[in-house]
């Protein structure tokens, strides 16, 4: 009796662990998918970012779950489908399969065929392997850990523990190879089916890509705009950016990581959302952005280096911006030299920044950043605005339609 009861007891624990881990994983994957699909209306939404499923959504710009959601690693086939196919759909399908298998083993217990038990022992490690890969990406590429993602990692670990335990419960003979083969095929179908249904139900977004207008006046008469050198420019692009804007930072990083930035002929119009210089605002959204915008201009040939330094150090620079301009100028001087810090206070620098702002006002540019305008066709000067919705999840899809030559 003891030799029979022990494997059965182990199997029951393994089935319970598998079922619990799979249900938690399915819930986290469902919330992640829900946040992703909410953006298919081409609007920006708050996202869930909590270890507690169903907790209040977080609309903060620096939300790590939003960072993960908008990263290049959250979806596949971005050039073919607007926003791509979220990988959380595969997780949802995989956890659903594991939950069904765990429930079956819990009900069958000692009657479960050996193949079904081995199936858990094999497929139970699949979510963990995927989680290890995504954990590595979060650690080395995103430098942020989404709480919903961590919930999926933990759930994967529970299912893997159940898989390990199942190897101790292989007591019942049966058609192991047949059951195992059918189970693996079923896992594949369960993981892919949600993505297939998702792709088949997506609308055609191409008619929306060219609906956000063009730039009325394409040149700045005083030559105030900043030219950013890139290695292989293929298409003209005008960017309105704020060095302390988190969304600008994310947008810039997407362009760079997707290999598009070096293929753009970039002109930068600095547009600090700071009342110290921007007379179009009634309150500062990013105090200190005026100083850093001037620093970018004063960087001259190092303008891109200064801009990317500001993006990379936003968390440290924002508090200095709230203290006043002198603290930021000291930090810029330490980083890029006293000549750049001195240039910030030059009246000509302030006048040039004002000319950029006047350029934005003359073109009736919305008071928001980032904004991107690209040449409508190769060799033409007509600048078409890329819709705000197409600068995040839909960026790669939009560029594949509007400027395919900038894609690597």
pLDDT tens, the chain, 408 aa long: 344 457 788 889 999 999 999 999 999 999 999 989 888 888 777 787 887 766 666 555 567 888 888 888 899 999 999 999 999 999 999 999 999 999 999 999 888 888 888 889 889 999 999 999 999 999 998 888 888 999 999 999 999 999 999 887 665 445 567 767 888 888 899 999 999 999 999 889 999 998 998 998 888 999 999 999 999 999 999 999 999 999 899 899 999 989 999 999 999 999 999 999 999 999 999 999 999 999 999 999 999 999 999 999 999 999 999 988 889 999 999 999 999 999 999 999 999 999 999 999 999 999 999 999 998 765 555 789 999 989 888 999 999 999 999 998
Residues 374, 264: one domain? yes
DSSP conformational letter for 382: -
The Cβ-side half-sphere exposure at 338, using a 13 Å CA radius, reads: 0
My answer on whether 232 and 172 are in the same domain is no
Domain co-membership, 277 together with 386 = yes
Please work out, in degrees rounded to the nearest 5, the angle formed at the alpha carbon of residue 57 by the alpha carbons of 150 and 18.
Answer: 35
pLDDT score at 289: 96
Query: Domain range spanning residue 74?
Result: 2-201
Residue 214 lies in a domain: no
Give the closest residue to 124 by CA, choosing from 162, 92, 153, 178: 162
Q: 155: left (phi > 0), else alpha (psi -120 to 50), else beta?
A: alpha
- 52 and 130 both lie in a single domain: yes
Q: Do 67 and 173 lie in a common domain?
A: yes
- Do both 187 and 329 map to the same domain? no
240 shares a domain with 175: no
Of 186, 201, 216, which residue constitutes the final position of a domain?
201
Distance CA 263, CA 260 (A): 5
The answer on 157 and 8 residing in a single domain is yes
């Amino acid at each position: 009796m003891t030799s029979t009861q022990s494997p059965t007891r182990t199997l029951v624990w393994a089935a319970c662990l598998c079922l619990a881990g799979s249900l938690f994983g399915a819930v986290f994957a469902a919330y992640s998918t829900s946040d992703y699909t909410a953006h298919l209306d081409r609007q920006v939404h708050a996202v869930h970012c909590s270890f507690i499923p169903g907790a209040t959504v977080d609309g903060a710009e620096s939300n790590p779950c939003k960072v993960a959601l908008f990263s290049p690693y959250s979806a596949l086939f971005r050039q073919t489908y607007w926003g791509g196919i979220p990988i959380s759909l595969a997780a949802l399908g995989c956890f659903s399969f594991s939950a069904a298998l765990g429930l079956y083993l819990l009900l069958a217990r000692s009657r479960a065929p050996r193949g079904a038990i081995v199936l858990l022992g094999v497929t139970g490690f699949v979510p963990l392997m995927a989680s290890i890969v995504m954990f590595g990406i979060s650690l080395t590429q995103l430098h942020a850990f989404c709480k919903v993602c961590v919930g999926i990692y933990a759930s994967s670990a529970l299912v893997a523990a159940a898989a390990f335990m199942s190897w101790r419960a292989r007591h019942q003979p049966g058609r192991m190879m047949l059951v195992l083969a059918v189970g693996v095929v079923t896992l594949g179908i369960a993981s892919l089916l949600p993505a297939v249904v998702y792709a088949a139900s997506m609308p055609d977004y191409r008619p929306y890509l060219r609906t956000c207008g063009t730039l009325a006046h394409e040149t700045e008469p005083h030559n105030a705009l900043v030219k950013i050198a890139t290695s292989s420019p293929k298409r003209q692009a005008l960017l309105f950016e704020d060095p302390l804007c988190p969304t600008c930072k994310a947008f810039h990083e997407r362009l760079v990581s997707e290999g598009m930035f070096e293929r753009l002929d970039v002109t930068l119009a600095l547009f600090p959302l700071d009342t110290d210089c921007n007379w179009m605002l009634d309150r500062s959204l990013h105090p200190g952005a005026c100083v850093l915008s001037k620093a970018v201009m004063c960087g001259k040939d190092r303008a891109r280096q200064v801009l990317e330094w500001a993006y990379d150090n936003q968390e440290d620079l924002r508090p200095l911006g709230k203290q006043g301009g002198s603290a930021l100028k000291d930090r810029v001087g330490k980083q890029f030299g006293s000549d750049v810090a001195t240039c910030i206070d030059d009246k000509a620098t302030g006048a040039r920044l004002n000319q950029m702002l006047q350029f934005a006002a003359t073109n009736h540019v919305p008071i928001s950043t980032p904004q991107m305008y690209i040449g409508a066709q190769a060799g033409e000067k007509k600048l078409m605005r890329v819709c705000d919705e197409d600068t995040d999840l839909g960026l790669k899809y939009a560029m594949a339609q509007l400027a395919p030559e900038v894609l690597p």
